[in-house]
Amino acid sequence: MTVHKLASLKFGQTRVVNSLNLADPKLFHSQAFLNGAFVDGVDGRTFVVDNPATGATLATVAICDAAMTRQAIEAAAAAFPAWSKRPSKERSAILRKWAELMVANADDLAAIMSAEHGKPLAEAKGEVTYGASFLEWFAEEARRVDGSVITTPLTDRRLVVLRQPIGVTAGITPWNFPCAMITRKCAPALAVGCTIVIKPAEQTPLSALALAELAMRAGVPAGVFNIVTGDVDDAPIIGGELTSNPIVKKLSFTGSTEIGKLLTRQCADTMKKVSMELGGNAPFIVFDDADVEAAVAGALVAKYRNTGQACTAANRFYVQAGIKDAFAKRYGEEVAKYRVGEGTGEGVTIGPLIDDAAIQKVRAHVKDALDRGASVLVGGSDHELGGRFFQPTLLDGVPSDALMCQEETFGPVAGLTTFTDEDDVIRLANDTPYGLTAYFFTRDHARVWRVAEALESGMVAVNTGLLSTAEAPFGGVKESGLGREGSRWGIDDWTELKYIAMAGL
C-alpha cells in the first residue's frame, strides 16, 4: 500500500464520499475515535486507504501512535466503572439500538465496505446483517451473565461464584470481514460490562469508523468503545502498547497465526487473557454417497465467498474416486459462471483481491500446483481486468503436498485431490497444524458421526458450505487459535469467575 504520511487529500475525500452516494455521508469518517470523539492522528499524520478494485485513493486516515493508544486505553479505563455497573438491561438496550442502526444503515455500510475491501455489494450487505446479529445476540446474553451457587461441603458456609467483566480489553481485527470481526468482539465485551479499544486492519478502517459513528448514536458512552487507526508500519506500535499496557486485561485477535503467536507472547508479560482466531487450512471432503448438487453448492460458497478470502474458506478438496468426475464437471460449470468485477458492478459475484501480495500468493499457489502435475479445469491465471483481479479457478489432480494444500490460498482458487479410503482422507485432513473448519458431504448417518468426531477441527460443517452464525461457538483448535466467539459460551472470554466463600453462617 502506498503511504502518504502528512498527506492532505481532504478535497479528494469529499469527492470520494460523493461518489459513494451515501444516504448519510456522516457515516464516512477518517479520524480515529477516542473517548467519544473523532480526532486527528499524531501531528496530523495520515495514511492512504485505497479501493482494491481501482487502486484509487478512498481516504487518508489518522495515524495513531503509542501515546494515542495509551489515551484510548485510559479513556476505556475511566469509562469502565460506570459502564460495568450500569444495569444489564440498559447495556442490552444500547447494543440492540446499535444493531438496529446498522440494519437501518446497511446500504451505506455496505457501500463503504465494498469500496475499501472490494467485496460485491450483496456480500457486503450480508456481512452488515451478520455483524449486527452479534450485537443483537449479545444484547440478549447481557441479561444472562450468571454465576452459580455451589453445593457446600460444610454446613456453616455457602459457596458462591460471580461472573464479572474482565475490565479494559483490546481487539485487533483483520480486513477480510471489516464489520463483523469488530462486532463479534465488542458485542460480548460491552454486553458483560467491559470497555474496549479496537485496532482495525489498515486496509479497512472506514467500516470500523462508520460503526463508531453508529455506536455514538446508539448511546454507547464515551470511552466504552474506541478505535485507534494506523498503517501497516504502525500496527506493531499500536499493538505493542495494547499488549504491554497493564491496564488492558484481555486481547482478542483475529488474523494470521504468525501475528497471533507474536501477540500472545507479548501478552504473556502482563498475563493478559487472550483469544486468538487465527488461520485455517480447511479440508472439504466429498464422499461417494454425497448428493452431488448439494456438494457443489456447498463447495461454491465455502471456497468463493469473499473471493476466497476467509479463514474458514475451503482450502483442500478431497473427492472420492467414485464421484470425482461428476463433481468436477458440475463444480467447473458453476465456477465458470462467476462474474468478476468491482464490487459495485451489476451482477458481480467475485471482487478483486485485497492487495498485490494477495494476488502474488494466488499466482504462486497455482503455478506450484501446475508444476507438480495439476491441470486447469477453469480459469488459472490473472483476470483480463488486470490489477488485483484473478480468474475464478478450478484445478484437478492437485497432490496433497502442493502449497495450496499446505497453507491458506486466500483467493478464488480450488484444487481437487482424489482419494479412495475414508481412513486415509481423515488422516490427510488432519495432517496440518491448523484446525479451524472442516467440511464434508455424505448421506450415510453413521459416517456423519464417525467423520465429524475424527476431524481435528473447532468447527465441522456437514452437508453445508456455511456454518457461521451468532448462536454457535466460532473458533479453532491446534494453531488455529484459542477461545470461542459468539454463542452462549462467547461471554466466557470476556469475564472472570470470582469464588466467594461465606463462612460463619
Residue 133 Cβ vs ligand ADP, minimum distance, rounded to whole Å:
22
Amino acid at 250: K
Write the CA distances from 422 to 322, 382, 454, 459, integer angstroms: 13, 36, 11, 19
Which CB sits closer to ligand ADP, 10 or 265? 265
> Does residue 259 bind ligand ADP (CB under 6 A)?
yes
The angle that helices 422-430 and 445-454 make with each other, rounded to 10 degrees, is 30
Closest to ligand ADP by CB, 91 or 303:
303
Q: By CB under 6 A, tell whether 171 contacts ligand ADP.
A: no
Are 238 and 64 within 8 A, CB to CB?
Answer: yes
Cα 67 from Cα 48, distance rounded (Å): 21
Please give the span between the terminal C-alpha atoms of the chain, in angstroms, as a whole number: 66
Q: Give the residue with the Cβ less far from ligand ADP, 242 or 405.
A: 242
Among 3, 93, 162, 235, binds ligand ADP (CB under 6 A): 235
Interaction of residue 256 with ligand ADP, rule CB under 6 A = yes
Q: Which three cell numbers stand for residue 251?
A: 486481547
Q: Is 277 a catalytic residue?
A: yes
236 binds ligand ADP (CB under 6 A): yes
* Nearer to ligand ADP among residue 233 and residue 371 (C-beta): 233
* Residues 83-122 within binding reach of ligand ADP (CB under 6 A): none
Of 279 and 458, the one with the shorter C-beta distance to ligand ADP is 279
- Residue 255 sits in the site that holds ligand ADP (CB under 6 A): yes
Q: Which residues contact 268 (CB under 8 A, 6 or more apart)?
A: none
When the beta carbons of 174 and 352 are compared against ligand ADP, the nearer one is 174
Question: Rounded to whole angstroms, how far apart are CA atoms 299 and 284?
Answer: 8
The reply on whether position 174 binds ligand ADP by CB under 6 A is: yes
Q: Does 202 bind ligand ADP (CB under 6 A)?
A: yes
Phi then psi for 332, rounded to 5 degrees? -60, -40
Does 62 bind ligand ADP (CB under 6 A)? Our answer is no
CB of 53 to ligand ADP, least distance (A): 18
The DSSP symbol for 350 reads B
Beta carbon of residue 175, minimum distance to ligand ADP (angstroms, whole number): 6
Least CB distance to ligand ADP at residue 201 (A): 4
Instruction: Using the rule CB under 6 A, give the single segment among 1-9, 79-87, 231-239, 387-395 that binds ligand ADP.
Output: 231-239
* Per annotation, catalytic residue among 194, 311, 405, 479: 311
Q: Which grid coordinates are listed for 182?
A: 469488530
Q: Which of 141, 213, 277, 422 is catalytic?
A: 277
Q: Is 298 helix (H, G, I), strand (E, B) or coil?
A: helix
> Hey, what's the cell of 60?
487518508
Segment near ligand ADP (CB under 6 A); pick from 20-28, 251-259, 283-291, 446-454: 251-259
Using the rule CB under 6 A, which residue among 172, 220, 276, 295 binds ligand ADP?
Answer: 172
Q: Which is nearer to ligand ADP, 141 or 202 (CB)?
A: 202
The residue number whose beta carbon is nearest to ligand ADP equals 239
**Smallest gap, in angstroms, from Cβ of residue 380 to ligand ADP?**
24
Q: Is 173 in the site for ligand ADP (CB under 6 A)?
A: yes
Q: Identify which of residues 378 and 436 has a Cβ nearer to ligand ADP in the complex.
A: 436
Q: How many residues sit close enough to ligand ADP to count as binding (CB under 6 A)?
A: 14
Residue 239 touches ligand ADP, criterion: CB under 6 A:
yes
The three grid cell numbers given for residue 445, joined into one nine-digit string:
448417518
Is residue 396 close enough to count as binding ligand ADP by CB under 6 A? no
DSSP β-ladder status, 437-441 and 282-286: parallel
Exposed e or buried b per residue across 459-479, where buried means at least 16 C-beta atoms within 10 angstroms of its C-beta: bbbbbebeebebeeebbbebb
Task: Name residue 425's amino acid.
Answer: V
Stretch that binds ligand ADP, among 217-225, 255-263, 482-490, 491-499 (CB under 6 A): 255-263
- Between CA 488 and CA 468 the distance in angstroms is 14
Whether 314 contacts 439, CB under 8 Å: yes
Distance CA 314, CA 285 (A): 10
Angle of CA points 186, 188, 190, to nearest 5°: 60
Cβ proximity of 295 and 416 under 8 Å = no
At CA 437, angle to CA 310 and CA 420, rounded to 5? 115
Interacting residue ranges for ligand ADP, rule: CB under 6 A: 172-174, 199, 201-202, 235-236, 239, 255-256, 259, 262-263
Which residues are the active-site residues? 277, 311
